[in-house]
Structure 1
Amino acid sequence: MRRPDPRVRAVIDQAAAQFPPLGTEMTDITEVRAFFAARPRPATPRLALARVRDARADGVPVRVYDDTDRTDAPVVLFCHGGGFALCDLDSHDGFCRSLAHATGAVVVAVDYRRAPEHPFPAAPEDAYTALRWAARTLPGRRIAVAGDSAGANLATVLTLLARDRGGPGITCQALYYPMLDPTRSRPSHRENARGYFLTADHLRWYWDGYLSRPGAWADPYAAPLADADLSGLPPAHLVTAGFDPLRDDGLAYADALTAAGVPVTAHHYAGMFHGFLSLADALPEAAAARETAFTVLRTALGLG
């Protein structure tokens, strides 16, 4: 049985210690969010950018990160992870700052409504509203969609919605360890069910809260691996991790996109775990992987 490198194991354990036992001892969303709010803040100073502002995208809260003087800089619409129920603009502020600085794109982070108070389809509809707003307020620019975990689900769904609803055009999709299949039936969900930060209990709790509407589990706008038509979608870049229960979701989606004729660039990190791209300060491997991911996105947007 493979095991993480001891350095990686220590980071996994530290991250898990700061995470509530979702789906077991702790199930109430108010209690879970209070747990998160009480966690100590990172001591690392925020990366300074030229401009960061909060705005309303036709009613949807967004945060716009701009570190370039170009008036035609491409746009990255970013959806944060958190199982559709947790995290927000502040939790992913550092990642979005790094993304804007490294790519030279204007990053628009979406504060979509969260489950269980607002189950599917609230989150993708908010993200799509923000996408249309970004295309209208920053016209004539290339647009990418990106996200991590549940946010990567929303990024994939945005490509479907944009195709099916007549736009706006999307240049590429960047999907970091995407959460795509509520059946959780692939081998990685069993192999990595416990002990690697994100657990099977977490995922069950997330999906149950998000897909409470009858029939939602089979809706491709909720579960893009549920027999979705993937033809005509923009090129994709996927990042997966070996010790992630979502590993096989991402690998299966890469295969499905390829079968549908969509160009795919995939990077698999066998020794990493869910969420590792956000831990670049703790692991040199994560820092290198994040640099690669941002370089791929920069090149896809014509900035490389």
Structure 2
Amino acid sequence: MSSATPGTLHPEIEALIAPQEGEDDHPQLWEVSVEVARQFYRAMMLDGSDEGAPAPVADTQDKVLRLPGGERPCRIHRPLRSRGRTLVYFHGGGWAVGDLDTHDEVARSLCDALGAVVVSVQLPQPPEAIFPKPVFSAVEAIAAIHSMRSDLGGPDSPLIVAGDSSGANVAAAAVGHLARRQPGLVAAQFLLYPITDLTGGYPDTMRCGSGYWFEAAHARWFIEQYVPDPKLLGHPDVSVLRAPHLDGLPPTAIVTAEFDLLRDQGRLYAEVLRAAGVTVSYREAAGMVHGFFGMAHRISDVRDEARLCCADLDSLLRSAGER
């Protein structure tokens, strides 16, 4: 069980995200090209990746998904103890800068805790591929992986769609499309500190807009890359919280972090889904920050918190009659 105290930033996380000597000399994301921003982000995310033990998996393979819209790289993790589940995972990184390596620990953690075969998919990224292309690619990837379940969690394995941050945003939009087109194809969705409303105006943006690793200035730059046309910020596939028809979505587990500028909109999304008749599990992780799942291999309390979040999804699946 996590020993984090509500109202207090976890001390090990506080030490981990504290600015290091010389860090102020680095340029900001918006001061460099997107390619350089990706290099900076990758270096930051992989720094310390050799500290602690990564979540154990039985096997890992890098493959290519051949989709109608083009080929997409993916990474498949198989669990040590399979529970007959298949999970599609879309990583975060502000739509523009993350990759399969920067969020590999999250994918491994989901594989281990849920006993699921996890397929981590690299979606097309802005500015080369702006909205709505990543959403369409995600819909194609989910449908393709559903048809591949015999080689993954099993032919009758429930299909879970998961994502964190911007990846949760795309996951939610894609699941919304599939719920209307092919009801029942997705058994559940698991949204970790999701972006649900790009129109702004939430108190946590001020409360946690700086000093907690993921900052409001970063969010603004990421949004500009993904949705360069501000008239589209309220589109229901961008701001999923504002979608007119949320009924019919699969059971949904939502996780937010106490010290995250996205907490308000994640919590409100849970409330809106419940009001639409969707079965929802909601957890606010005390003492945690945005992206905490990726810190699980370095901080034992974070690992414990991540397992509690996965246990919520377990309970949700059982209540829906899934394994």
Question: 1:245 — aligned with what?
Answer: 261
SS of 1:60 mapped into structure 2: strand
Give the Cα separation in 2 of the matches to 1:190 and 1:180: 17
Q: Are the counterparts in 2 of residues 76 and 105 from structure 1 also a CA contact under 8 Å? A: yes
Correspondence for 2:88 among 77, 93, 96: 77
Give the Cα separation in 1 of the matches to 2:27 and 2:282: 31
SS of 2:88 mapped into structure 1: strand
Give the Cα separation in 2 of the matches to 1:156 and 1:125: 12
CA displacement 1:171-228 (0-9 Å, x = unmatched): 1111111012112211111111111111110010011110124742122112102243
Q: Are the counterparts in 2 of residues 146 and 155 from structure 1 also a CA contact under 8 Å? A: yes
Give the Cα separation in 1 of the matches to 2:299 and 2:110: 18
Give the Cα separation in 2 of the matches to 1:206 and 1:167: 32
Deviation, 1:99, is 1.4
Q: Are the counterparts in 1 of residues 10 and 288 from structure 2 also a CA contact under 8 Å? A: no
Give the Cα separation in 2 of the matches to 1:60 and 1:144: 19
Correspondence for 1:151 among 167, 173, 193: 167
1:63 matches 2:75? yes
Correspondence for 1:118 among 129, 143, 165: 129
1:170 matches 2:186? yes
Give the Cα separation in 1 of the matches to 2:20 and 2:134: 26
SS of 1:52 mapped into structure 2: strand
1:161 matches 2:177? yes
Deviation, 1:13, is 1.4
**Structure 1 gap ranges (5+):** none
Question: 1:54 — aligned with what?
Answer: 62
Correspondence for 1:42 among 49, 52, 77: 49
Deviation, 1:22, is 4.2
Question: 1:101 — aligned with what?
Answer: 112
| Closer/same/farther in 2, CA of residues 22 and 298 from structure 1, 3 Å limit | farther
The one-letter code sitting in structure 2 at the alignment partner of 1:122 is K
The one-letter code sitting in structure 2 at the alignment partner of 1:103 is L
**Structure 2 gap ranges (5+):** 1-6, 150-154
Give the Cα separation in 2 of the matches to 1:105 and 1:123: 24
RMSD across aligned C-alpha pairs, in angstroms? 2.6
With 277-286 and 200-209 compared, the bigger mean Cα shift is at 277-286
Give the Cα separation in 1 of the matches to 2:283 and 2:121: 25
Scaled by the length of structure 2, what TM-score is found?
A: 0.84
Question: 1:127 — aligned with what?
Answer: 138
Q: Are the counterparts in 2 of residues 104 and 298 from structure 1 also a CA contact under 8 Å? A: no
Q: Are the counterparts in 2 of residues 235 and 262 from structure 1 also a CA contact under 8 Å? A: yes
1:232 matches 2:240? no
Share of identical aligned residues, percent?
32
Structure 1 segment 144-223 matched on structure 2, within 5 A: 144-166=160-182, 169-213=185-229, 215-223=231-239
Q: Are the counterparts in 1 of residues 42 and 98 from structure 2 also a CA contact under 8 Å? A: no
Q: Are the counterparts in 2 of residues 23 and 201 from structure 1 also a CA contact under 8 Å? A: no
Question: 1:271 — aligned with what?
Answer: 287
Give the Cα separation in 2 of the matches to 1:228 and 1:102: 34
SS of 1:108 mapped into structure 2: strand
Give the Cα separation in 1 of the matches to 2:10 and 2:118: 34
Correspondence for 2:16 among 11, 19, 26: 11
Scaled by the length of structure 1, what TM-score is found?
A: 0.89
| Closer/same/farther in 2, CA of residues 145 and 80 from structure 1, 3 Å limit | same
